[in-house]
A = this chain, B = another copy of it.
Amino acid sequence: MVQLGANRYGKAEVRVMRVSRGAGPGGGDVIRDWNVSTSLSGDLAATHLTGDNSAVLATDTQKNTVYAFAQELGPVPPEVFGMELAAHFVGTQPQITRARVSVEEFGWAPIGEPGYSFARTGELTRGCRVVHDEGAGVSVVAGLEDLTVLNTSHSEFWGFPRDKYTTLEDTDDRMLATQVSVWWRYRGTGPRGTGAPDVDWDAAFGVAREALLFAFKETHSCSLQQTLYAIGEGIIAAAPGVCEVRLALPNKHHYLVDLTPFGLPNDNEVYYPGDRPYGLIEGTVLADDAPDPGPAWA
């Protein structure tokens, strides 16, 4: 005999561009360019077992709600959008006890003076994931993906164990590059209306991003793990309300090319970036007093 285990469903990748005309500095337009995914869970056994959909708010309806809320809420930060939308689903659908809303935000910069014309920036994707749980309250995780950073020096790797399969040489001067995926969790979760975090989300994102870049640059790295920890520590120190940071850092290897067959020196000048395989370093840094995450990362 079998039974239904954990489950959830929703609409993924609802693209929405919200233009607020003249609302920006200098009277320029403000645009919020999002990719929104919703996911609901609760008592959904009936649809799985018998196809009875009386508890299944259609994913098409979820999509419509994204658009409607984009209109009604105006150019809010994605975290606010996520909190409002998640609260709506849990608050209006009796059978839904948890809603997760993820938002990817794509950046745009004005072309010239602020106005109606924009070019997409592409150095990173901002994101947030809001979980509204009937019991555990609201949690907010924010972060970024796809930010690629590189140090041409100030990176070493040596002193690792050598077994029969080890051929890598120690090095005290290597290139270090990674494509950062980092997500940080805010304190202050709790039932909506009483404990929702009071954060300037756009500012906090900027602070965390700067802390990340600073830590990457300033850490003399003996391992990518050391850099990871320094980034986590830096974000917690700099961004008010952040209690936990999770990072996934691919080690984007840059291999020194052997030019000796051609009679040429290569004093750390010519590298070839490899695609695969790559090291992958994953880790968490927590404030000592970080509260339990509950379903924040679910």
Given contacts A12-B277, A21-B153, A68-B259, 15 further A-B contacts (CB under 8 A): A2-B286, A6-B284, A7-B281, A9-B282, A17-B271, A20-B269, A54-B161, A58-B161, A61-B168, A71-B257, A71-B259, A92-B163, A117-B150, A117-B216, A122-B146
Please state the number of chain copies in the assembly.
4
* A118 interface residue (CB < 8 Å to B): yes
Contact B112 A213 (CB under 8 A): yes
Task: Count residues of chain A with CB under 8 A from any CB of chain B.
Answer: 138
Residues of B within 8 A of A266 (CB): 71
In the complex, chain A residues 1-27 whose Cβ is within 8 Å of any chain B Cβ: 1-21
Residues of B within 8 A of A12 (CB): 250, 276-280
Q: Which of A92, A244, A278 has the most CB of B within 10 A?
A: A278
Q: Which of A52, A55, A158, A164 has the most CB of B within 10 A?
A: A164
Partner of A283, one of B6, B111, B244: B6
Contact A53 B280 (CB under 8 A): no
Binds B, one of A76-84, A135-143, A200-208, A225-233: A225-233
Q: Which residues of A contact B (CB under 8 A)?
A: 1-21, 29, 31, 33, 35, 37, 39, 44, 47-61, 63-65, 67-68, 70-72, 92-93, 108, 111-112, 115-124, 146-154, 156-168, 175, 213-214, 216-217, 221-226, 228-229, 232-233, 236-237, 244, 250-251, 254, 257, 259, 261-266, 268-288
Contact A121 B123 (CB under 8 A): yes
Contact A51 B223 (CB under 8 A): yes
Contact A16 B270 (CB under 8 A): yes
Contact B165 A262 (CB under 8 A): yes
Residues of B within 8 A of A117 (CB): 149-152, 154, 216-217
Contact A152 B29 (CB under 8 A): yes
A10, B7: Cα distance in complex, Å: 30
Residues of B within 8 A of A18 (CB): 269-271
Given A47-B226, A281-B9, A284-B5, A57 and B160 contact (CB-CB distance below 8 Å): yes
A8, B228: Cα distance in complex, Å: 12
Given A61-B168, A119-B213, A280 and B9 contact (CB-CB distance below 8 Å): yes
Contact A160 B56 (CB under 8 A): yes
Residues of B within 8 A of A55 (CB): 161
A96, B156: Cα distance in complex, Å: 22
Query: Can you name 24 A-B pairs with beta carbons within 8 Å?
Result: A2-B232, A2-B287, A2-B288, A5-B286, A7-B281, A9-B283, A21-B153, A21-B269, A48-B225, A48-B229, A51-B225, A56-B223, A57-B161, A61-B165, A64-B261, A67-B259, A67-B272, A72-B264, A111-B149, A111-B213, A117-B149, A117-B152, A118-B150, A120-B148
